Amino acid sequence: MADSTCCVATPRKRLMIFSGRSNPALAARIADKLDVSLGSVQLKTFSNGEIYARYEENVRGSDMFIVQSPLDDINSELMELLIMIQAAQLASAKRITAVMPYYPYSRQDKKSAAREPITARLVATLLEAARVDRVLSMDLHQGQIQGFFEIPVDHMTAVPMLADYFRYKDFGDTPLVAVSADAGGVKLAKRFINRVPGCDLAVLTKMRPDHNRAETMHFIGDVQDKIAIIVDDIIDTAGSVTSAIDTLYDRGAKEVYVTATHGIFSGPACERIRQSPVKEIVVTDTVNVRLGPDDPKIKVLSVADILARTIRNVFEDESVSEIFAGDNQLF
Ligand code: R5P
């Protein structure tokens, strides 16, 4: 007798979000936007520095998103992510996505001198070895980092959101000019001006006499009597932007603003910004930016909505580039 069964009922997909310890505030905002609760996971560090992770609820068959954006203790937070991925694999999660809005070591993406590592590639290798299924990141230092992976990488951008902030800010009739902080950032600045009608483009070049030191070398463009907005992907020690700010005031800019996706603000960054004549610095919460009362010039916008929409579309097998009208793959 012929078997009359033509299909087998499968369990419904289940979206679960967990957070590592690097940016729980962002993870909570994303979960809130998705109207789900953050999953419960026990994370601790033993006295010798080893990390332990255990999911405190059933993750079997789930479409799991782990939010981790390593910053303060960057190597431990990366290791914690790898451990969380492996624990999820061993607990039979169906698909695991590492949500890494800031990709650690992204600036080590090529050999610039003999005998250097390409650590951004090594991070990709480690993530794949832990058996992650997908990676979701934002404004990678170079888009080519996607090519370090064999698995899908969703590369999102905060630049339209940052550009809209300046587009709708009241600058009166003063013309705007977006300034790329270095030659490699021109695509980012072009993306910015595409979104801000009438905004001109200028370019700085810099040299690094040493790691964590930056000096502006050349300037192409005109900022005289204009509002200059420096556009960069990362502010780390703020050496690049404070050098650029001084150059732009020297060149006659009326006011100088800065915007960047990832506000790392390590070491001397906040002190440099406090002493700088910059009007305002606008970054996002891709990393856990901690500001004090002495940092009123720094404003943080949230990328939670962009990431929540991306996660929703990945979960529902919809396009993620449509969130940006296809405009998120130009890096
Ligand atoms: C470098 O190429 C990046 O785009 C940033 O300009 C750089 O990482 C910023 O670093 P810092 O703030 O330490 O100068």
The reply to whether 173 and 296 lie within a common domain is: yes
Q: Has residue 5 been placed in a domain?
A: no
Q: Would you say residue 46 has pLDDT above 60?
A: yes
Whole-number Å distance, alpha carbon 273 to ligand 1 midpoint, is 14
Q: Has residue 8 been placed in a domain?
A: no
What's the structural domain count of the chain?
A: 2
The reply to whether 91 and 31 lie within a common domain is: yes
Q: Has residue 140 been placed in a domain?
A: yes
Query: For residue 36, what is the enclosing H or E element?
Result: none
Residue 278 · residue 250 · CB < 8 Å: no
* Minimum-distance ligand 1 atom for the alpha carbon of 237: 13
* pLDDT tens column, 119-148: 999 999 999 999 999 999 999 999 999 999
Q: Has residue 90 been placed in a domain?
A: yes
CATH of the domain at 253: 3.40.50.2020
The reply to whether 171 and 96 lie within a common domain is: no
Whole-number Å distance, alpha carbon 204 to ligand 1 midpoint, is 13
The reply to whether 56 and 125 lie within a common domain is: yes
Return the sign of the alpha-carbon dihedral for residues 245, 250, 256, 259: negative
The predicted pLDDT at position 138 comes to 97
* Minimum-distance ligand 1 atom for the alpha carbon of 185: 4
* pLDDT tens column, 261-318: 999 999 999 999 999 999 999 999 999 998 889 999 999 999 999 999 999 999 999 9
The reply to whether 285 and 310 lie within a common domain is: no
Instruction: Tell me what the pLDDT averaged over the chain comes to.
Output: 93
> Higher model confidence: residue 156 or residue 331?
156
The reply to whether 124 and 232 lie within a common domain is: no
SS3 71: coil
Whole-number Å distance, alpha carbon 237 to ligand 1 midpoint, is 8
**Amino acid identity of 171?**
F
Q: Would you say residue 80 has pLDDT above 80?
A: yes
Pocket probe mutation, ligand 1, options 108, 236, 246, max atoms within 8 Å of Cβ:
236
Average pLDDT over residues 192-203: 96
The reply to whether 165 and 295 lie within a common domain is: yes
The reply to whether 164 and 278 lie within a common domain is: yes
Q: How far apart are the first and last CA of the chain?
A: 59
Residue closest by Cα to atom 8 of ligand 1: 234
> Higher model confidence: residue 261 or residue 208?
261
Q: Has residue 96 been placed in a domain?
A: yes
The reply to whether 255 and 195 lie within a common domain is: yes
Q: CA dihedral defined by 130, 132, 137, 141, rounded to 10 degrees?
A: 40
Residue closest by Cα to atom 10 of ligand 1: 236
The reply to whether 204 and 253 lie within a common domain is: yes
The reply to whether 71 and 44 lie within a common domain is: yes
Q: Has residue 1 been placed in a domain?
A: no
Pocket probe mutation, ligand 1, options 71, 230, 235, max atoms within 8 Å of Cβ:
235
* Minimum-distance ligand 1 atom for the alpha carbon of 214: 14
Task: Give residue ranges with CB within 6 A of ligand 1.
Answer: 107, 181-182, 184-185, 212, 214, 232-240
Contacts of 48 (CB under 8 A, 6+ apart): none
Q: Would you say residue 222 has pLDDT above 60?
A: yes
Whole-number Å distance, alpha carbon 233 to ligand 1 midpoint, is 8
Q: Has residue 289 been placed in a domain?
A: yes
* Catalytic site positions: 206
- Lowest-confidence segment of 52-56, 82-86, 247-251, 321-325 by average pLDDT: 321-325
- Please, what's the b/e burial string for 84-98 (b: 16 or more CB within 10 A of its CB; e: otherwise)? bbbbbbeeebebbbb
* Minimum-distance ligand 1 atom for the alpha carbon of 264: 12
The predicted pLDDT at position 207 comes to 77
Q: Has residue 192 been placed in a domain?
A: yes
Whole-number Å distance, alpha carbon 274 to ligand 1 midpoint, is 18
Whole-number Å distance, alpha carbon 195 to ligand 1 midpoint, is 23
Domain that holds residue 189: 159-301
* Minimum-distance ligand 1 atom for the alpha carbon of 269: 12
Q: Which long-range contacts (CB under 8 A, 24 or more apart) does 294-300 make?
A: 294/270, 295/270, 297/273, 298/263, 298/265, 298/270, 298/273, 300/263
The reply to whether 139 and 273 lie within a common domain is: no
SS3 331: coil
| CA–CA gap between residue 104 and residue 58 (Å, rounded) | 29
